[in-house]
Structure 1
Amino acid sequence: MAVSLQPIKRGLAAIALLGLALPALAQTSVSDAWVRASVPHQPSTGAFMTLTASTDSKLVGVASPVAKTVQVHEMTMNGDVMGMREVKAVELPAGKPVSLDPNGYHV
């Protein structure tokens, strides 16, 4: 009687893939979230919150079902001139709250 090793191979492959995915299972909590109200003819607004990750992580993207475009920006001041630029990632150190606010990173 021949025994097929195919189910065992599939099971081992699934376990190996799960092991690769474990770092992505970090928990991140969101607190104190709010969105600035927009005014007539203003096409955009900002969202602000505090993020706390359980392990060293990065915020690498944002999305919303009610907005066509959603980005993470960083506000900077150079003398009296305010600047804003899109960022590709925001570091989330393990256990340390990271504030997304009007004076720094924001959505």
Structure 2
Amino acid sequence: MKREILAIVVSLSMCSVASARQFEKDGLVIDNAWTRATPEGAKNGAGFVTITNKGKETDRLTGGTFPDADEVQVHEMKMDGDRMSMRQMNDGLEIKPGDTVTLSPGGYHLMFVGLKKPIVKGSDVKGSLSFAKAGNVDVDFKVEGIGAMKPEEGKMKSDDSKMMHEHRQ
């Protein structure tokens, strides 16, 4: 009986944590916003999030705000054979009604340009996402380890302490 009660309590606490990381506005559901820690001296960072459009109109993710960054841009990274390319999406990222878009490493992502100080693992950082129609939506970015490929994965096994991201325009 005690184990069953403990299992229920743990399950309920996990549900409340998940819902605390979900934000909604004008039919947009923003879930699981996270970023990676950055090494000392890094000028850019990246943010990731899942956005579902439950509304009736198409919207566009156009950027956002992040403390200690000059600007937040929407980027696309993709592979063309063995060559990786990355570009800023000047018109933003379209999210049609009923669609879910996931910003993740190796694909669409937020670029935190002009960092003034490192992003530190283990903290939550308040920021916002900007949409063409819904406007600004405040979010909390959970900070994972340098090189994390998904939330709560932490550090890669290789020595990634020297990883830096350079962005050329």
TM-score by length of 1: 0.68
Aligned to 2:34: 34
Aligned to 1:80: 82
Aligned length: 83
Which residue among 82, 94, 99 is the counterpart of 1:96? 99
On the 8 A contact 2:46/2:109 being kept in 1, the answer is yes
User: How far has the Cα of 1:103 moved from its partner?
Assistant: 1.8
State the alpha-carbon separation in 2 of the partners of residues 30 and 105 from structure 1.
Answer: 15
Counterpart amino acid of 2:81?
G
- Aligned-residue sequence identity (percent) comes to 37
1:1-107 matches, within 5 Å, as 26-53=26-53, 54-55=55-56, 56-87=58-89, 88-107=91-110
Q: Which is higher, the Rg of structure 1 or of structure 2? A: 1
TM-score by length of 2: 0.45
State the alpha-carbon separation in 2 of the partners of residues 66 and 39 from structure 1.
Answer: 14
Give the superposed CA RMSD.
Answer: 1.7
Deviations 1:40-77 (A, max 9, x none): 22111110010112232111232224311211100011
The runs of 4+ residues in structure 1 deviating greater than 4 Å are none
State the alpha-carbon separation in 2 of the partners of residues 71 and 89 from structure 1.
Answer: 8
The structure that is helix-richer by fraction is 1
State the alpha-carbon separation in 2 of the partners of residues 70 and 33 from structure 1.
Answer: 14
- 2:63 alignment partner, SS class: coil
